[in-house]
């Protein structure tokens, strides 16, 4: 492994490590625009120049294209290097509109940061700046301000190398050069939002975030995308203190969080832009009894009464629980302890042949729209007597064998269409727990509102069996509660012998005899972060 010296500090790095990465290991940031560890090396922006001394010779060269070689001495802060970096920056900023006050990227823009760190010159340009397309729709999710672009080519390489189709290009010549999608062809690949994160300046922007919040108002927690079984690691960026624009919008955007084993630097657009379901007028806000609003006490008492009334007749064989695999491991665990072990329902089902199979690809997206099917399997979801599939349970209801049904999140309306009323007519009672309003909730004997992942903490097990924790960003909407808490309260009424106060004690209990689950160190995670990205490039 080559050993080198950077600014008088010695470091040994793996063969092939370039000087930007090597310096970063020492906490030294070599300024760069075009380099990104997830993409090929272009060496085009010229920002990363350093002084390299090797075999008795000194030269100024790029840090991104030069791998560390044994015996190199590198300086990133000599007066000569500083002068060069400043000059490169001045060129890159020559025609830049410097409209930071109206730029969504202000506060997280490399041009701004580098100007403060390495520029600080006065503008010497006394002719007009060149103008380029300013508010251009590049695709369904992304907009472009071509004047702000520094032509680093990261976005171009992302589409080409990661997605596999060139959807953006740099066209023209000299000061005329402009980054664009092909005329008449959208930047519309299912990963298009990543170019916004990659863009070091405010040229490519999220259309949904345009003029929504100044970036420095945002807070951030670590989360897991619930939109497919990959379980990409994300940050939830939220703000509850500056709601001057869109009343009630707390979750402002989702950003990828680096995880080499799951999603590297990327997330897909389905996951990224799916957050609008959280601060949504369709959220279930209060418990309902027969469609009428009520409080938790009354609703739980009613649920208890209904369940108790059926324990003798029709008895366990006539009772069923359906649960969608978007519940967390903690929810599943308590559901099993309550419905399987305490009140002993004979029919527990979750494995509904997915109605909406996603278009899987070999980048991230899987075909399973649920985040925790693996967790359900690992925790042995199912009943002791019958190994019932959801579809069989539904058949049994139509056949009049099942009289009481609890539904957690399962989209029965989507499955059954207008058959749903016939199904309800077959039941003595129906208890529905869900996050969003539905006619099923209105028709249920009791309906209970649930919190979404962004409003609570918990764990999902992804398609590869990785147990991943997510944190709470904002308070549950209305009176909604995390599912495990509802199950805890209901369990208490039904004489359960267990009792849990916090999510992580539930997790501890479920992980006890499961070595694959026991590895997750619950407390070794952060709370709300100030810095938005801890892993930005």
**Number of other residues whose CB lies within 10 A of the CB of residue 504:** 18
Q: Which segment (180-188, 257-265, 301-309, 371-379) binds another protein by CB under 8 A? A: 180-188
Identify what 167 binds: another protein, ligand SF4, ligand FES, none; CB under 5 to 8 Å per kind.
Answer: another protein
* Residues 532/255, Cβ–Cβ less than 8 Å: yes
Rank residues 113 and 188 by Cβ distance to another protein and give the closer one.
188
In three-state form (DSSP H/G/I as H, E/B as E, the rest C), the secondary structure along 241-292 is: CCCCCCCCCCEEEEEECCECCCCECCCCHHHHCHHHHCCCCCECCCCEECCE
Does 27 bind another protein (CB under 8 A)? Our answer is no
Does 152 bind ligand SF4 (CB under 6 A)? Our answer is yes
b/e string for 303-342 if b means 16 or more Cβ within 10 A?
A: bbebbeebbeebebbbbbbbbbbbbbbbbbbbbbbbbbeb
Task: Give the nearest distance from C-beta 67 to another protein in angstroms.
Answer: 25
Does 346 bind ligand SF4 (CB under 6 A)? Our answer is no
| Pair type for strands 429-434 and 404-408 | parallel
Our CA dihedral for 391, 393, 397, 398, rounded to 10 degrees, sits at 30
Does 270 bind ligand FES (CB under 6 A)? Our answer is no
Which of 5, 170, 306, 311 forms a contact with another protein (CB under 8 A)?
A: 170
Which of 64, 92, 151, 299 forms a contact with ligand SF4 (CB under 6 A)?
A: 151
Task: Give the nearest distance from C-beta 29 to ligand FES in angstroms.
Answer: 12
Does 33 bind ligand FES (CB under 6 A)? Our answer is yes
Q: Which segment (32-40, 240-248, 320-328, 383-391) binds ligand FES by CB under 6 A? A: 32-40
b/e string for 447-477 if b means 16 or more Cβ within 10 A?
A: bbbbbbbbbbbbbbbbbeebbbbbbbbbebb
Q: Considering only residues 362 through 381, tell me which ones interact with ligand SF4, judged by CB under 6 A.
A: 364-365
Identify what 510 binds: another protein, ligand FES, ligand SF4, none; CB under 5 to 8 Å per kind.
Answer: none
Does 45 bind ligand FES (CB under 6 A)? Our answer is yes
Structure tokens at 58: 């000194």
Does 156 bind ligand FES (CB under 6 A)? Our answer is no
Question: Considering all CA atoms of the chain, what is the largest pairwise distance in Å, rounded to the nearest integer?
Answer: 91
Choose among 210, 190, 46: nearest CA to 134.
210
Helices (H) and strands (E) in the chain, counts: 16, 22
What is the residue-wise DSSP string for 105-137?
TTTS-HHHHHIIIII-PPP---SPPP----SEE
| Pair type for strands 446-449 and 288-289 | antiparallel
Rank residues 176 and 501 by Cβ distance to another protein and give the closer one.
176
Q: Considering only residues 185 through 204, tell me which ones interact with another protein, judged by CB under 8 A.
A: 185
Bridge partners of 324, per DSSP, are none
Task: Give the nearest distance from C-beta 271 to ligand FES in angstroms.
Answer: 29
Does 184 bind another protein (CB under 8 A)? Our answer is yes
Burial of 231 (0-12, 13-18, 19+ CB in 10 A): buried
Half-sphere exposure of 265 toward its Cβ, with a 13 Å CA cutoff? 17
Q: Which segment (46-54, 309-317, 434-442, 521-529) binds ligand FES by CB under 6 A? A: 46-54
Which of 56, 124, 127, 173 forms a contact with another protein (CB under 8 A)?
A: 173
Bridge partners of 58, per DSSP, are 53
Task: Give the nearest distance from C-beta 220 to another protein in angstroms.
Answer: 34
Size of the site for another protein (CB under 8 A): 14
Structure tokens at 112: 């701004």
Going residue by residue from 63 to 82, which x/- string records binding to ligand FES, judged by CB under 6 A?
-x------------------
Does 150 bind ligand SF4 (CB under 6 A)? Our answer is yes
Does 114 bind ligand FES (CB under 6 A)? Our answer is no
Cβ-proximal residue to ligand SF4, closest one: 271
Going residue by residue from 178 to 207, which x/- string records binding to ligand SF4, judged by CB under 6 A?
-x------------------xxxx-xx---
Residues that bind ligand FES (CB under 6 A): 32-35, 43-48, 62, 64
Residues that bind ligand SF4 (CB under 6 A): 149-155, 179, 198-201, 203-204, 225, 227-228, 230-232, 263, 267-268, 270-271, 364-365
């Amino acid at each position: 492994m080559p050993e080198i010296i950077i600014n008088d500090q010695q470091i040994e790095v793996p063969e092939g490590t370039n000087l930007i990465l090597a310096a970063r290991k020492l906490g030294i940031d070599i300024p760069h625009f075009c380099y990104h560890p997830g993409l090929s090396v272009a060496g085009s922006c010229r920002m990363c120049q350093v002084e390299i001394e090797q075999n008795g010779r000194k030269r100024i060269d790029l840090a991104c294209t030069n791998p560390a070689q044994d015996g190199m001495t590198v300086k990133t802060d000599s007066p000569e290097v500083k002068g060069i970096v400043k000059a490169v920056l001045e060129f890159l900023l020559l025609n830049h509109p410097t409209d930071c006050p109206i730029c969504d990227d202000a506060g997280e823009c490399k041009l701004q940061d580098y100007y403060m760190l390495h520029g600080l010159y006065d503008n010497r340009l006394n002719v007009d700046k060149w103008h380029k397309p300013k508010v251009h729709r590049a695709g369904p999710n992304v907009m472009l301000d071509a004047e702000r672009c520094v032509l680093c080519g990261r976005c171009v390489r992302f589409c080409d190398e990661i997605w596999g189709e060139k959807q953006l290009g740099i066209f023209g010549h000299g000061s005329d050069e402009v980054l664009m999608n092909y005329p008449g062809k959208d930047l519309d690949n299912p990963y298009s939002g990543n170019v916004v994160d990659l863009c070091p300046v405010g040229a490519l922007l999220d259309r949904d975030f345009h003029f929504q919040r100044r970036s420095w108002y945002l807070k951030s927690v670590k989360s897991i995308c619930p939109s497919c079984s990959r379980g990409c690691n994300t940050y939830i960026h939220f703000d509850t203190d500056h709601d001057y624009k869109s009343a009630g919008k707390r979750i402002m955007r989702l950003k990828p969080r680096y995880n080499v084993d799951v999603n590297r630097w990327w997330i897909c657009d389905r996951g990224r832009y799916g957050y609008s379901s959280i601060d949504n007028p369709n959220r279930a806000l209060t418990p309902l009894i027969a469609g009428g609003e009520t409080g938790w006490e009354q609703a739980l008492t009613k649920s208890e009464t209904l369940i108790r009334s059926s324990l003798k007749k029709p008895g366990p064989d006539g009772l069923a629980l359906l649960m969608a695999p978007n519940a967390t491991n903690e929810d599943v665990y308590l559901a099993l302890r309550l419905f399987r072990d305490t009140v002993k329902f004979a029919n527990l089902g979750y494995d509904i042949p997915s109605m909406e199979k996603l278009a899987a690809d070999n980048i991230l997206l899987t075909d399973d729209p649920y985040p925790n099917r693996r967790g359900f399997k690992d925790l042995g979801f199912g009943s002791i007597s019958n190994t019932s599939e959801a579809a069989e349970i539904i058949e049994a209801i139509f056949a009049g064998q099942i009289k009481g049904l609890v539904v957690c999140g399962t989209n029965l309306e989507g499955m059954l269409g207008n058959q749903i009323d016939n199904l309800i007519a077959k039941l003595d009672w129906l208890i529905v727990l869900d996050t969003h309003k539905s006619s099923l909730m209105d028709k249920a004997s009791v309906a209970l509102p649930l919190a979404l992942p962004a409003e609570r903490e918990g764990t999902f097990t992804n398609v590869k069996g990785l147990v991943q924790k997510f944190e709470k960003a904002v308070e549950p909407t209305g009176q909604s509660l995390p599912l495990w808490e509802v199950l805890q309260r209901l369990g208490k009424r039904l004489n359960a012998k267990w009792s849990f106060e916090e999510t992580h004690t539930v997790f501890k209990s479920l992980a006890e005899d499961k070595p694959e689950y026991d590895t997750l160190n619950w407390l070794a995670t952060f709370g709300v972060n100030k810095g938005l990205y801890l892993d930005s490039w």
